[in-house]
Amino acid sequence: MSSLPVQRPGIGPRQVSSSSFADAFDAARSRLEALGVEEPGEDEVPSPALSSSSSTTDEVPSPALSSSSSATDEEPFSPSEGETPLSPVTPITGPGTSAMDPSVVDSFAFAFDIDGVLIRGGKPIPEAVEAMKVLNGENEFGIKVPYIFLTNGGGKFETERCRDLSQQLEIEVSPGQFICGHTPMREFADRYGTILVVGGEGEKCREVAESYGFRDVITPGDILKANAATAPFRRLTETEHRNSRDLLARGGKLSDIVVEAVFVFADSRDWASDLQIILDIAQSKGGRLETRSETFDEGPPIFFSHNDVLWSAAHEHARLGMGALRKIVETVFEDTTGGRKLKTHAFGKPQVSTFEFATRLLQQWRASQHGLSEAKPPATVYFVGDTPESDIRGTNAMNEVSENEWYSILVKTGVYQEGTEPKYKPRKLVNTVLDAVNHGIRREMARRGSRKATGGRMLPLDDLALKAVGEGHTPTFEVVDPFGDM
């Protein structure tokens, strides 16, 4: 047995090294391939080879594939010993003020999904504005609580989405507290040369990809401009034609271009032509455009920024999301290749790796914005979401592997329909995000009250306090000094 200490992710200090989300991702993929793992779909029974991992193996492997045999098929991958932790996230903007504000709490924080929780159909959910005020000090305890946003959505620059969110929620939202579906993709910019970027409005996702450092970004529009026969029923608009790159101006043919990876950044605006182009590349000889593999096993990797089949938009019923396109890509690939399987990958919630990414963002945000210790994470992170399959599943899975508590709260303003039984159970079900915020704060205050009453010892919530919180009340003990026992 080695005498070297084993680095346990989440317990020992995080290593700051050249490792990154991308490295960890690749390591996990290689391990999967080395194991010869056939990846099941979400609701399929994992094969014996997968008994040590999870049913979400067809999604982006977290930095470490679990080697723990205790993992169930309900849990996304969890980190295992000996794996390289993810590198810290670099906030997009520089740090803000780090002046210590004594009213900022250190022991807990919030993380929010956006669509269906704070925003719906481009408009703020009414209670969301109030919820932000409560977090920013307008509460009975006079405390301010740090928070970040973690959405699977995307298709804009992070700075742009933050500007929109700032207006909608009447607060200032910084890119330093914001992660969208494609944010982790920026760590792959050094990995691939020519990539195909799919989804979003106009040229936006190409611009976002280039801002991440990707050097040679082509879009479905570029391919259609070069060969309109690629998608017989799609005609580029004049603007699309003008804005698309002229791939033939490189002085060659489309077949001179080799796509090294496909990234679906945001929801497709034209599923039929995007599906055709993604499948063409998946079935090509090593990513070379206009070619066809004989074996259908040499296409480049295909990444989706998330796997949400449904999302909450303006329509009364949830709308189809990128996860649906992903299913179609995989199904049609199989149907058109004589049964060959296509393995694609998805970032975003519920992947534990995405929550770990969020953890580091939160730590950096707390340090840069609030002057709190970056080394010591908050004891509890309250995650508020509307989608059991991504928000609640991911939060609960993170809670299993994290040294601090991740507490899932499900709201009724989005995908989850009241009266139905969610497949993944939250710790708390509430009506709106305002109820979620109040619940978290009261639960914390009850915990502190318990500690206060016992001379500062760390105790779980007492029965009375729990009951009061469960009923939506502030527990009736006196908080002498809400910061005194931290």
Binding site for Mg ion (CB under 5 A): 113, 115-116, 386-387
Cα–Cα separations (whole angstroms), residue 28 to 59, 193, 265: 11, 21, 21
The residue with its CB nearest to Mg ion is 116
DSSP state of 144: B
**Shortest Å distance, C-beta 310 to Mg ion:** 9
Q: Whose CA is closest to 389, among 61, 52, 200, 152? A: 152
Q: By C-beta, is 330 or 386 nearer to Mg ion?
A: 386
Residue type, 248: L
Q: By C-beta, is 349 or 439 nearer to Mg ion?
A: 349
Q: By C-beta, is 192 or 311 nearer to Mg ion?
A: 311
**75/400 Cα distance (integer angstroms):** 9
User: For residue 173, what are its two tokens?
Assistant: 């939202």
Q: By C-beta, is 308 or 444 nearer to Mg ion?
A: 308
Q: By C-beta, is 32 or 313 nearer to Mg ion?
A: 313
Cα distance from N-terminal residue to C-terminal residue, the chain: 40
Provide the phi-psi class of 456: left if phi over 0, else alpha when psi is between -120 and 50, else beta.
left
Q: By C-beta, is 117 or 236 nearer to Mg ion?
A: 117
**Shortest Å distance, C-beta 415 to Mg ion:** 6
**Shortest Å distance, C-beta 387 to Mg ion:** 5
**Shortest Å distance, C-beta 414 to Mg ion:** 5
| 170 CB neighbour count, 10 Å cutoff | 12
Torsion sign (Cα): 82, 178, 309, 124 = positive
Partners of residue 310 on adjacent β-strands: 320
**Shortest Å distance, C-beta 308 to Mg ion:** 8
**Shortest Å distance, C-beta 305 to Mg ion:** 14
Q: Whose CA is closest to 202, among 220, 215, 225? A: 220
- DSSP string covering 167-218: HHHTS---GGGEE-TTGGGGGGTTT-SEEEEE-SSTTHHHHHHHHTT-SEEE
Q: By C-beta, is 24 or 392 nearer to Mg ion?
A: 392
CA 486 to chain CA centroid, nearest Å: 30
**164/90 Cα distance (integer angstroms):** 22
Q: By C-beta, is 197 or 322 nearer to Mg ion?
A: 322
**Shortest Å distance, C-beta 44 to Mg ion:** 25
**Shortest Å distance, C-beta 316 to Mg ion:** 16
